[in-house]
């Protein structure tokens, strides 16, 4: 496989040609925040808007999950503009997220907490207003796991696994805009849907939205 030379934050690396920058950087040990990225997806979602970087010669920050590496690419993962965008995207996600980490079964295993640690971002709202004014009901209908929509970040990982890996087709994105959510046909509880309770979707959830029941006890 051919390789290209790139520079990330002053360090030089050799990475596989044709690879998306996000994966190349992660393989080199450089952390870039991300939630929706999935190496196996045909076309990147680019929906979480956390993996911004700046590339020399580009006039605006770009999402690293969509940007292919090229020979001589010079990348900066931390600039004033990148930090500002990442902070705002992160705060926006928090503004619609149940923020009681102590009570969350995924405490210490959550990607949001990792981003907060890596980028020194607070895990509470200081600037924006909380949008999660009414808590939505938690779905604990299955024997294996629970679904807490109040913790969902809409990364789409579970839906992709459901459709493309286990090929069950129980869940999908429903509604539009602010009301967009992961749900079932007719909004029925998971146990009443086509869900086989295989638990594969739970394994890919980066936050505490889908959690195995054994963890919640």
Partner 1 sequence: MSISDKYHAIRFAAVEKIEKIKEKPHVLVGTATCGRAAGALTILDVFREEADKHQLDVIIDEVGCMGYCYAEPLVVIAKPGFPALCYGPVDEGTARRLVADFLVNDDPCYDFAIAALEPNDEFPTFEDFPRGVIEKKIILADCGLIDPDDIDHYLARDGYAALAKVLEMEPYAVIEEIKSAKLRGRGGAGFPTGVKWERCFQAEGSPKYVICNADEGDPGAFMDRAILESNPHQLIEGLIIAAYAIQASTGYIYVRAEYPLAVARLRNAISQAREKGLLGDNILGSDFSFDVIIFQGSGAFVCGEETALIKSIEGKPGVPDHRPPYPATCGLYGKPTVINNVKTLSYVPHILRKGADWFRSIGTENSPGTAVFALAGKVVGTGLVEVPMGTTIRELVYDVGSGIKDDKMFKAVQIGGPSGGCLPESSLDLPIDFDSLQEAGAMMGSGGLVVLDEDDCMVEIARFFLDFTQKESCGKCTFCRLGTKQMLDILTDITQGKGSLEDLNILQDLAEDIKMGSLCSLGKTAPNPVLTTLKYFRDEYEAHINEGRCPALMCKDLITYIIIPEKCSKLCDVCIGSCPTEAIYTRPDMLKAIHLDKCVKCNNCMVACPPQYKAVIKVSPPIVEEKEETVEGGKEDE
Partner 2 sequence: MKGGEALELLAGELEQIQAETAEILQQHGTGRQELIPIIQEIQERLGYLPKPAMEQVARALDIPEVDVYSVATFYNQFRLNPPGKHQIKVCMGTACHMMGGHIVMDSFERRLEIKEGETTPDREFSLERVACVGCCALAPVVVVDEKVEAKVSPIRVDGILLTFEIEKKEQEKEQQEGGAEE
φ, ψ of residue 20 in degrees (nearest 5):
-75, 145
109 neighbors 43 (Cβ within 8 angstroms): no
Q: Which is nearer to partner 1, 63 or 106 (CB)?
A: 63
Rounded CA gap, 101 and 94, in Å? 11
Examine residue 189 and tell whether it contacts partner 2 (CB under 8 A): no
Biggest CA-to-CA distance, the chain: 53
Give me the DSSP letters along 76-132: ES--HHHHHHHHHHHHHHHHTS---GGG-TTTTS-HHHHHHHHHT--SS-SSSPP--
Q: How far is the CB of 12 from partner 1 (least distance, A)?
A: 27
Examine residue 187 and tell whether it contacts partner 2 (CB under 8 A): yes
Rounded CA gap, 58 and 40, in Å? 27
Examine residue 88 and tell whether it contacts partner 1 (CB under 8 A): yes
- Our CA dihedral for 97, 61, 31, 85, rounded to 10 degrees, sits at -30
Q: Which is nearer to partner 1, 89 or 170 (CB)?
A: 89
Binding-site member from 131, 137, 165, 188 for partner 1 (CB under 8 A): 131
Q: Which is nearer to partner 1, 37 or 146 (CB)?
A: 37
Which of partner 1, partner 2, none binds 80 (CB below 5-8 Å, type-dependent)? none
Binding-site member from 105, 149, 172, 199 for partner 2 (CB under 8 A): 172
x/- mask, partner 1, residues 41-80, rule CB under 8 A, reads --xxxxxxxx-x-------xx-x--x--------------
Q: How far is the CB of 214 from partner 1 (least distance, A)?
A: 31
Give the interface with partner 2 as residue ranges (CB under 8 A): 163, 168-176, 183-187, 193-194
């Amino acid at each position: 496989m051919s390789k290209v030379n790139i520079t990330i934050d002053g360090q030089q690396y050799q990475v596989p040609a044709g690879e998306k920058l996000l994966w190349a950087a992660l393989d080199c040990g450089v952390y870039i925040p991300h939630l929706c990225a999935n190496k196996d997806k045909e076309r990147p979602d680019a929906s979480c808007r956390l993996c911004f970087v700046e590339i020399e010669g580009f006039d605006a920050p770009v999402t690293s999950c969509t940007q292919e590496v090229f020979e001589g690419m010079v990348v900066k993962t931390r600039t004033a503009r990148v930090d500002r965008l990442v902070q705002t995207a992160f705060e926006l996600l928090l503004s619609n997220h149940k923020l009681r980490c102590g009570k969350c079964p995924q405490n210490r295993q959550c990607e949001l907490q990792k981003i907060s640690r890596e980028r020194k971002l607070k895990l509470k709202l200081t600037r924006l207003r909380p949008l999660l004014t009414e808590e939505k009901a938690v779905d604990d209908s299955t024997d294996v796991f629970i679904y807490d929509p109040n913790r969902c970040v809409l990364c789409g990982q579970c839906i992709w696994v459901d459709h493309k890996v286990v090929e069950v087709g129980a869940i999908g994105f429903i509604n539009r805009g602010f009301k967009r959510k992961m749900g079932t046909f007719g909004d029925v509880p998971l146990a009443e849907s086509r869900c086989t309770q295989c638990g594969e979707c739970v394994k890919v959830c980066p936050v505490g939205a889908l959690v195995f029941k054994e963890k919640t006890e």
